[in-house]
Amino acid sequence: MKVAKDTACALGWLAGTTLGSGIAFLLQWQSYDAVWSVAIGGAAGIMVALVYRFFIRRVQWHGTQKNSPQ
């Protein structure tokens, strides 16, 4: 599955901020604590999405190289 870099970042940001706000809600954090939780979750989500995208592309590329006729 091919995913563009901006799509991976957007999905990572969405997942990270959702996770961050869920954690803030469960811990009943207010204001600044919740904002930091959401911001850190969003940044972490982007990083995970980009690393995952790079890893998947690398695995797919190596997979096609092994199966190609020589």
**pLDDT tens-digit readout, 1-15:** 566 888 888 999 999
For 16-60, what is the HEC assignment? HHHHHHHHHHHCCCCHHHHHHHHHHHHHHHHHHHHHHHHHHHHHH
pTM here is: 0.71
24/20 Cα distance (integer angstroms)? 6
User: CA-based Rg of the chain, rounded to a whole angstrom?
Assistant: 17
3-class DSSP state of 2: coil
**pLDDT tens-digit readout, 12-60:** 999 999 999 999 999 999 988 999 999 999 999 999 988 888 887 777 6
56, amino acid identity: I
